[in-house]
Amino acid sequence: MQEPSGAIAWPDGHVDAWDHVECAMALSACGQHEAARRAYRWLRDTQRADGSWPRSVQAGRVTDPAAESHHAAYAAVGAWHEYLVTGDEQHVQLMWPAVRRGVEWMLALRTPRGEVAWERDAAARPGSYALLSGCASIHLSLRCGVALAKLADDPRPDWELAADRLAHLVARHPEAFADKSRFAMDWYYPVLGGAIRGEDAARRLAAGWDTFWEPGLGVRCVSDEPWVTGAETCELVIALNACGMRSQAREAFASIHHLRHQDGSYWTGWQFANQAPFPRERSSWTAAAVVLAADALTGFSGGGGIFREAAAATDGASGTDGTAGASRQVPDGADCGCDSCDREPATPR
């Protein structure tokens, strides 16, 4: 599905930066290094001067000029993953200007409290709200960006502080984000993105399990629809594995294989009331999510630990062996003027 330009599209032909990076990561994990490098070259070539990427590009033409904050930041995750897989510091230096511009563009969408607006529209107006799943993804991007900055000899302590504050908001302040609690991503992304770990993560996943888990089939994309999706299920696998729930992670991974097509691709989802694929497509990013989940469980590439090790600041992790940060501390309630240090982390609404 990769185009000669290096772009990796959706089934309808459009490309967005976030899913493109996910596919590049999967290519690299599988040893398809030339294809992965072409994907990263496309990313560098299509970044706009302000640091963003269009929401949608098709056949080399911008079809939606708006831009999303978590898209712009995710280049950092891809570049750090590529380093973990290959150990190629020259590629880090090649990617660093694009990563830096993307993260700085995203940070310009922060509110005074620290959450990040989800978009800047075609008229350059910032979005009116932040998304919990998007900000959890941005937290991971910032941790990876901090690690890249050290390798590039261009330290970014302000990024680390932004990640600390964002982790606190994701873990303790559901009111900072638009209510998208019908969607599974708002359930598990705070764990997947590393903002919540340990017992707090286990409690969060347990709280939403009966709402989103469909036994033997996978994760409901939306809680009130009879529809499971492969990518959400694989992301849950990674989240479960990242907080030490390996048996549940293996169970979840085993559930997705009913989506596998005979050619090795995966249906995007399954409508279990109608017993039919929905939508009727096999997407590049679903296959990529399968690869990344398998790598998280088995560690067949050097990047298999990226989601596990780029964890919440409370673990004090440091190093370059899959860890994307230095010793740090999440702001407590006193730091942000709230009383959340005295209450439990938020559970799914």
CATH number at 222 reads 1.50.10.10
Q: What is the pTM of this model?
A: 0.93
Residue 159 in any domain: the answer is yes
Residue 8 in any domain: the answer is no
Helix (H, G, I), strand (E, B) or coil at 42: helix
Residue 9 in any domain: the answer is no
- Does the structure show a pLDDT above 70 at 299? yes
- How high is the pLDDT of residue 310? 75
Residue 184 in any domain: the answer is yes
- How high is the pLDDT of residue 89? 98
- How high is the pLDDT of residue 320? 35
Chain Cα centroid distance, residue 183: 15
Residue 5 in any domain: the answer is no
Number of domains in the chain: 1
Check: CB of residue 147 under 8 Å from CB of residue 317: no
Q: What is the DSSP string of 78-127?
A: HHHHHHHHH--HHHHHHHHHHHHHHHHHHHTTB-TTS-BBSEE-TTSPBP
What does pLDDT average to over the chain?
92
User: In terms of Cα–Cα distance, which of 91, 7, 22 is closest to 286?
Assistant: 22
- How high is the pLDDT of residue 337? 65
Give residue 321's domain range. Answer: 14-342
Check: CB of residue 122 under 8 Å from CB of residue 176: no
CA distance 47 to 315: 34
- Does the structure show a pLDDT above 80 at 287? yes
289 phi, psi to nearest 5 deg: -65, -35
Residue 349 in any domain: the answer is no
Residue 7 in any domain: the answer is no
Task: Report pLDDT digits (tens) over 67-91.
Answer: 999 999 999 999 999 999 999 999 9
Task: Report pLDDT digits (tens) over 166-200.
Answer: 999 999 999 999 999 999 999 999 999 999 999 99
- How high is the pLDDT of residue 312? 44
Task: Report pLDDT digits (tens) over 36-67.
Answer: 999 999 999 999 999 999 999 999 999 999 99
CA distance 120 to 165: 22
Of the chain, the percentage scoring pLDDT greater than 90 comes to 88
Helix (H, G, I), strand (E, B) or coil at 259: helix
Of the chain, the percentage scoring pLDDT greater than 70 comes to 89
Identify which has the larger pLDDT, 222 or 321: 222
Q: Provide CB contacts within 8 A for 97, sequence distance 6+.
A: none
Residue 6 in any domain: the answer is no
